[in-house]
């Protein structure tokens, strides 16, 4: 690696945190938008914070400094210094007014951080988290500097809507066909929560009366002509507002809540105070263009950003190492919300699946970091599954350990004690100690130790003493810079089943504990003895996935099937099915490796028989849940179980198993398909109908593996096109894997129908990028040149390149062509949008998990990348992935 690049990319350390030397109490910002540039005038009220230093150091990048005045006097060039990242003003007093004018070029901003012009939407907008504000003006761009913002926007009237945070206080006409609007945000906030929008929109309006009778105007701004696609988002917002009042007692605090949907956006959405900016993907929905999953995701992301108003905005982070303070907490809140609103079992399954497929690999790889990292080169790289999803799991554990009532008390105290402040994860944990009286010293390790803990469980039943003993052993693998781990606090929610499948009363220390109990592991090795256990039980462990760990208990196949049928905990029923399937899939993979004949295990088929012939026919069946039960573990998750990921064999094993299941149950699948399929039913976002659609489509997906049923898929595709995207997409995804003219026909019809709808074109790209037919890579390369693809649009990149990177056999094809293509794309993208380039490079960083030949090819690409000039975003990931272990 060249010295140059290492020197240019210096890490920031948590241990070096210092309180700011200066504070800004007020900022008066005026942004004048012109066709080719913007003028930004910033008036700051600055004051020394305790220790008075004489130099004021402001952040600023890519700015043209026009003028700078201190207390009204223009500074001469020897009174300040400008570097490519800072503005240093020499010898400033303890309290003063600073006026800075900068010129910026929003239309040249392809990184989509700071103020930029969103081409797809034809609007100006901002993205300031984490460090975008310094691309707008010189400022103390740190989350612990909280100021009151007043913002004036001026622009041509072709941008009729001029929006910013807080309340509109003035607006009017200006000469030259221009106009202005002034917004005042009464709440002090860090600059990462600043937002500004100028554009031409349609909007839908509604209102919400809070529990203390405060009227809030709700507005959702979307591209002209798309107002009919914002109703689900509006409904989701009201559900979130109601839920947060009922569950956490949190009420909204301004008179207006605005959401703007933007077509070019790096992430999902942003919680700017009073003015959320959303990726269109998480706002727009109508039956003919959005799937059930899209509807669910909108509910959860709208909830997420809304919940940030308290967990993030009213109480914010002291520094970016504390990111999980707001993100882990807000994910925890949005997960609880969708579990309550939709389904406890199914949403938990979705969340755990995502955790295992993204966070566990991260924790086991070269980029592993604690929930509270202690160093970073580029903060954008730390918006990770660990900070978000593992962070949420940590809070879920805390709630389990403290109990809901005490946890809620802690939340109330957290919000009242720290309202208006920028605080730390430590402050949060301290409060939970205060309200519970517990010592959480060991629990804090969840924030500082990386790696996924492993818990091995064995047991012993003694029929003479009628005792049942569980032995637990916990370990946590080494991760970068953390060779040795201490034992952690791990809550294991559990129950015992007798031979008839009934829950057994749990007696510990001669005390009755009910039918379900949460054990708290704290030691490396630990034993728990249950008394008055009259027959040998089957343990049901880690119910509802009570801790983010890998738990292993040596179940027999029979025991897994038994729990799969009888466990009271729906999550664990699913989990036992997954474990059973995993065993079989790993065996099939080995058989392929050894060149043995493949055979389906009878017990496995019996599970499917039971689901399809018995459970599916019960009156009380939950079809949404059932469709989850029918799905096999993904190739990704299977690979995670192996030391060296056998890409092709995993794929072949899974294809074989699915085909055998389809053959064996074709008739039943077809009956269920018919019984739950309706051409005429109008789409509704309703749990019962979602369940029916999901279940029916699971049946169809199996059927479409059989040549005789390809036509059935085509029929559903044609009937659903223009009416129901859930049905359309499943049919198209099935056809997409067929080497048949039907594939071409459907893809063409889909594109012709939806070529003008950007979000649906994204689906078209992603589906083709998930194809595993032999010529898939050349098709993906052709799509990269297709007019429908646009490398400057993050959604297009996520759709095509993101899906390609998750397509195991195509990305990892043996000749290394997949690696080469991805590296080329990353290099091109890095010049335009480093944040997105960094997200795309991820699959290459996992190189150590593959066979020697693939390792060599992947490494070669990473090393070649490192010899080019890289953004700090991509540099950090690539260089860390190559570090010696
Ligand atoms: N805070 C946002 C959230 O709700 C995340 C986010 C949006 C973000 N845009 C970003 C993070 C850009 C980094 C860069 O999760
Ligand atoms: Zn968030």
Helical ranges in 373-526 per DSSP H: 385, 391-402, 404-417, 425-436, 445-448
Q: Is 597 helix (H, G, I), strand (E, B) or coil?
A: coil
User: Ligand 1 test: best mutation among 189, 191, 268, most atoms within 8 Å of CB?
Assistant: 268
Q: Tens digits of per-residue pLDDT, 813-869?
A: 999 999 999 999 999 999 999 999 999 999 999 999 999 999 999 999 999 999 999
- Hey, what are 761's tokens? 């074109």
Quick one: which ligand is closest to 272's CA? 1
Q: Which residue range forms the structural domain that includes residue 69?
A: 12-230+239-279
Within a domain: 211: yes
Q: In terms of domains, do 274 and 352 share one?
A: no
| CA separation for the pair 299, 285 (Å, rounded) | 11
DSSP string, 200-258: -EEEEEEEEE-TT--EEEEEEEEETT-GGGSHHHHHHHHHHHHHHHHHH-----SSEEE
| CA separation for the pair 571, 349 (Å, rounded) | 7
Predicted local confidence at residue 50, as pLDDT: 82
| CA separation for the pair 626, 668 (Å, rounded) | 14
Q: In terms of domains, do 136 and 183 share one?
A: yes
Residue 301 Cα, ligand 2 centroid: separation in angstroms?
9
Total structural domains within the chain: 2
- Hey, what are 244's tokens? 């947060």
| CA separation for the pair 101, 30 (Å, rounded) | 10
Nearest to 206 by CA among 214, 197, 215, 198: 215
Q: In terms of domains, do 53 and 153 share one?
A: yes
| CA separation for the pair 786, 119 (Å, rounded) | 18
Quick one: which ligand is closest to 269's CA? 1
Last-in-domain residue among 448, 463, 482:
448
Helical ranges in 677-807 per DSSP H: 687-703, 710-720, 725-735, 741-754, 758-769, 776-785, 794-797, 803-805
Whether 61 sits among the annotated catalytic residues: the reply is: no
- Residue 161, phi then psi, degrees to nearest 5: -105, 115
Q: In terms of domains, do 253 and 365 share one?
A: no
Secondary structure of 332-392 in HEC code, one letter for each residue: HHHHHHHHHHCCHHHHHHHHHHHHHHHHHHHHHCCCCCCCCCCEECCHHHHCCHHHHHHHH
Question: Which whole-number Å values give the CA distances from 746 to 289, 294, 743, in the listed order?
Answer: 16, 21, 5
Residue 615 Cα, ligand 1 centroid: separation in angstroms?
42
Pairing of strands 316-317, 422-423: parallel
Looking up tokens 């004036």 gives: 152
Catalytic residue among 223, 305, 341, 660: 305
Residue 505 Cα, ligand 1 centroid: separation in angstroms?
46
Quick one: which ligand is closest to 132's CA? 1
Residue 269 Cα, ligand 2 centroid: separation in angstroms?
8
Question: Which whole-number Å values give the CA distances from 218 to 186, 234, 274, 298, in the listed order?
Answer: 18, 8, 10, 16
Predicted local confidence at residue 880, as pLDDT: 98
Residue 270 Cα, ligand 1 centroid: separation in angstroms?
5
Which residues of the chain are modeled with pLDDT < 70?
Answer: 1-7, 51-52, 679-680
Kindly report the protein residue whose alpha carbon is nearest to atom 7 of ligand 1. 270
CB atoms within 10 A of CB 290: 25
For residue 80, the domain's CATH number is 2.60.40.1730
Last-in-domain residue among 252, 279, 306:
279
Residue 331 Cα, ligand 2 centroid: separation in angstroms?
7
Q: What one-character DSSP code corresponds to residue 790?
A: -
Looking up tokens 């028989």 gives: 609
Q: In terms of domains, do 101 and 197 share one?
A: yes
Question: Which whole-number Å values give the CA distances from 193 to 8, 42, 451, in the listed order?
Answer: 28, 16, 32
User: Ligand 1 test: best mutation among 111, 131, 191, 270, most atoms within 8 Å of CB?
Assistant: 270
| CA separation for the pair 124, 104 (Å, rounded) | 13
CB atoms within 10 A of CB 403: 12
Predicted local confidence at residue 678, as pLDDT: 80
Residue 459 Cα, ligand 1 centroid: separation in angstroms?
45
Within a domain: 637: no
Which residues, other chains included, contact 127 with Cβ-Cβ below 8 Å and sequence gap of 6+? Answer: 112, 113, 114, 116, 265, 266, 267, 270, 277
Q: In terms of domains, do 251 and 335 share one?
A: no
| CA separation for the pair 234, 236 (Å, rounded) | 5
Kindly report the protein residue whose alpha carbon is nearest to atom 11 of ligand 1. 129
Secondary structure of 818-846 in HEC code, one letter for each residue: HHHHHHHHHHHHHHHCHHHHHHHHHHHHC
Strand partners, 85: none
Nearest to 879 by CA among 861, 860, 864, 866: 866
Q: In terms of domains, do 56 and 126 share one?
A: yes
Q: In terms of domains, do 251 and 184 share one?
A: yes
Q: In terms of domains, do 126 and 247 share one?
A: yes
Q: Which atom of ligand 1 is nearest to the CA of 326?
A: 1
Cα 396 to chain centroid distance, Å, stands at: 17
Predicted local confidence at residue 3, as pLDDT: 45
Torsion, Cα 620 621 622 628, to 10 degrees, reads: 160
Within a domain: 83: yes
Q: Which long-range contacts (CB under 8 A, 24 or more apart) does 240-247 make?
A: 240/299, 240/302, 240/303, 240/306, 240/307, 240/337, 241/208, 241/210, 241/216, 241/306, 243/303, 243/337, 243/340, 243/341, 244/306, 244/307, 244/310, 244/333, 244/337, 245/210, 245/211, 247/336, 247/337, 247/340
Question: Which whole-number Å values give the CA distances from 787 to 393, 399, 782, 783, in the listed order?
Answer: 42, 50, 10, 8
Contact 127, 270 (CB under 8 A): yes
Within a domain: 120: yes
Q: In terms of domains, do 133 and 59 share one?
A: yes
Within a domain: 431: yes
User: Ligand 1 test: best mutation among 115, 269, 280, most atoms within 8 Å of CB?
Assistant: 269
Question: Which whole-number Å values give the CA distances from 458 to 276, 517, 555, in the listed order?
Answer: 50, 18, 10
For residue 419, the domain's CATH number is 1.10.390.10
Predicted local confidence at residue 6, as pLDDT: 56
| CA separation for the pair 88, 138 (Å, rounded) | 10
Residue 59 Cα, ligand 2 centroid: separation in angstroms?
24
- Residue 329, phi then psi, degrees to nearest 5: -65, -40
Quick one: which ligand is closest to 131's CA? 1
Q: How open is the CA angle 640-644-648, to the nearest 5 degrees? A: 85
Contact 191, 147 (CB under 8 A): yes
Q: Is 582 helix (H, G, I), strand (E, B) or coil?
A: helix
pTM tops 0.75: yes
Contact 589, 660 (CB under 8 A): no
Q: In terms of domains, do 218 and 354 share one?
A: no
Question: HSE of 579 in the Cβ direction (CA atoms, 13 Å)?
Answer: 22
List, edge to edge, every strand of the sheet that includes 525-530: 511-512, 507-508, 525-530, 467-475, 454-462, 550-552
Q: Which atom of ligand 1 is nearest to the CA of 265?
A: 9
Q: Is 52 helix (H, G, I), strand (E, B) or coil?
A: coil
Kindly report the protein residue whose alpha carbon is nearest to atom 9 of ligand 1. 267
Pocket of ligand 1 (CB under 6 A): 127, 129-130, 266-267, 269-271, 304-305, 308, 327, 380, 383
Within a domain: 519: no
| CA separation for the pair 65, 839 (Å, rounded) | 32
Q: Which atom of ligand 1 is nearest to the CA of 380?
A: 13
Q: Which atom of ligand 1 is nearest to the CA of 305?
A: 4
Q: In terms of domains, do 202 and 74 share one?
A: yes
| CA separation for the pair 704, 730 (Å, rounded) | 10
The secondary element (H helix, E strand) that includes residue 168 is strand 167-174
Last-in-domain residue among 426, 448, 470:
448
Secondary structure of 199-211 in HEC code, one letter for each residue: ECEEEEEEEEECC
Strand partners, 386: none
CB atoms within 10 A of CB 36: 8
Predicted local confidence at residue 1, as pLDDT: 41
Within a domain: 222: yes
Q: Which atom of ligand 1 is nearest to the CA of 327?
A: 15
Within a domain: 106: yes
User: Ligand 1 test: best mutation among 127, 133, 143, 384, most atoms within 8 Å of CB?
Assistant: 127
Q: Tens digits of per-residue pLDDT, 415-451?
A: 999 999 999 999 999 999 999 999 999 999 999 999 9
């Amino acid at each position: 690696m060249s010295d140059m690049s290492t020197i240019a990319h210096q890490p920031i350390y948590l241990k070096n945190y210092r309180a700011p030397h200066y504070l800004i109490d007020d900022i008066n910002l005026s942004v004048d938008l012109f066709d080719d540039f913007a003028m930004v005038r910033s008036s700051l009220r600055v004051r020394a914070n305790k220790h008075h230093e004489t130099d004021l150091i402001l952040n600023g990048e890519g700015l043209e400094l026009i003028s700078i005045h201190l207390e009204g006097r223009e500074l001469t060039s020897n009174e300040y210094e400008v570097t490519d990242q800072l503005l240093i003003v020499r010898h400033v007093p303890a309290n003063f007014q600073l006026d800075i004018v900068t010129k910026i070029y929003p239309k040249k901003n392809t990184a989509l951080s700071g103020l930029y012009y969103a081409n797809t939407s034809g609007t100006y907008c901002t993205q300031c988290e984490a460090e975008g504000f310094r691309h707008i003006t010189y400022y103390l761009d740190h989350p612990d500097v909280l100021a009151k913002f007043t913002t004036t926007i001026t622009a041509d009237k072709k941008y009729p809507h001029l929006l910013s945070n807080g309340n509109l206080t003035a607006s009017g006409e200006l000469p030259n066909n221009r106009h202005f609007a002034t917004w005042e945000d009464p709440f002090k906030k860090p600059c990462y929560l600043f937002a500004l929008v100028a554009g031409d929109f349609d909007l839908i309006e509604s209102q919400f009366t809070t529990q203390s009778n405060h009227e809030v105007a709700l507005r959702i701004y979307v591209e002209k002509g798309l107002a009919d696609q914002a109703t689900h988002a509006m409904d989701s917002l009201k559900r979130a507002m109601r839920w947060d009042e009922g569950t956490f007692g949190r009420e909204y605090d301004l008179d207006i809540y605005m959401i703007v949907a933007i077509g070019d956006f790096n992430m999902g959405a942003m919680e700017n105070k009073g003015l959320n900016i959303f990726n269109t993907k998480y706002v727009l929905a109508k039956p003919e263009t959005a799937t059930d999953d899209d509807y669910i995701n909108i509910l959860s992301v709208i909830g997420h950003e809304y919940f940030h108003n308290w967990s993030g905005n009213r109480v914010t982070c002291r520094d970016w190492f504390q990111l999980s303070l707001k993100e882990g907490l807000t994910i925890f809140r949005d997960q609880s919300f969708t579990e309550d609103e939709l389904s406890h079992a199914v949403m938990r399954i979705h969340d755990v699946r995502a955790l295992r497929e993204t966070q566990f690999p991260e924790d086991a790889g070269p980029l592993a970091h604690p929930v509270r990292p202690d160093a970073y080169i580029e903060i954008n790289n730390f918006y990770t599954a660990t900070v978000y999803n593992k962070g949420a799991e940590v809070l879920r554990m805390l709630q389990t350990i403290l109990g809901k009532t005490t946890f809620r008390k802690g939340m109330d105290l957290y919000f009242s004690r720290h309202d208006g402040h920028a605080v730390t994860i430590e402050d949060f944990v301290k409060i939970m100690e205060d309200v519970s009286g517990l010592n959480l010293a060991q629990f804090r390790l969840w924030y500082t130790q990386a790696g996924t803990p492993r818990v091995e469980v064995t047991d012993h039943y003694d029929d003479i003493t009628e005792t049942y003993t569980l032995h637990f052993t916990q370990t946590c693998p080494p991760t970068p810079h953390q060779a040795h781990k201490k034992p952690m606090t791990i809550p294991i929610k559990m129950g015992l089943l007798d031979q008839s499948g009934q829950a057994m009363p749990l007696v510990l220390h001669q005390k009755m504990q009910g039918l379900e109990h949460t054990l708290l592991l704290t030691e490396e090795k630990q034993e728990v003895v249950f008394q008055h256990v009259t027959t040998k039980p089957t343990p049901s462990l880690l119910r509802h996935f009570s801790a983010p760990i890998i738990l292993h208990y040596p179940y027999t196949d029979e025991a897994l099937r038994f729990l799969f049928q009888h466990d009271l905990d729906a999550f664990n029923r699913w989990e036992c099915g997954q474990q059973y399937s995993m065993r079989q899939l790993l065996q099939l993979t080995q058989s392929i490796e050894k060149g043995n004949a493949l055979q389906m295990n009878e017990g496995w088929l019996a599970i499917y028989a039971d689901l399809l012939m018995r459970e599916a026919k019960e009156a009380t069946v939950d079809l949404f849940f059932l469709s989850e039960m029918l799905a096999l573990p993904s190739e990704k998750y299977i690979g995670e179980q192996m030391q060296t990921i056998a890409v092709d064999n995993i794929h072949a094993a899974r294809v074989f198993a699915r085909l055998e299941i389809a053959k064996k149950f074709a008739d039943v699948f077809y009956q269920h398909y018919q019984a739950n399929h309706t051409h005429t039913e109008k789409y509704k976002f309703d749990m019962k109908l979602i369940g029916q659609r999901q279940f029916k489509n699971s049946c169809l997906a199996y059927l479409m593996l059989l040549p005789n049923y390809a036509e059935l898929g085509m029929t559903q595709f044609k009937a659903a096109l223009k009416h129901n995207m859930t049905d359309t997409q499943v049919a198209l995804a099935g056809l997409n894997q067929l080497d048949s003219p039907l594939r071409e026909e459907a893809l063409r019809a889909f594109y012709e129908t939806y070529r003008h709808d950007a979000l649906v074109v994204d689906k078209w790209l992603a589906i083709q990028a998930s194809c595993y037919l032999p010529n898939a890579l050349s098709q993906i390369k052709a799509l990269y040149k297709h007019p429908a693809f646009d490398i400057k649009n993050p959604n297009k990149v996520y759709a095509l390149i993101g899906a390609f990177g998750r397509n195991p056999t195509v990305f990892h094809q043996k000749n290394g062509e997949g690696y080469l293509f991805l590296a080329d794309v990353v290099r091109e993208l890095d010049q335009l949008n480093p944040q997105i380039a960094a997200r795309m490079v991820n699959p290459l960083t996992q190189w150590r998990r593959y066979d020697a030949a693939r390792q060599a090819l992947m490494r070669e690409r990473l090393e070649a990348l490192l010899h080019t000039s890289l953004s700090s975003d991509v540099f950090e990931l690539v260089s860390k992935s190559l570090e010696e272990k």
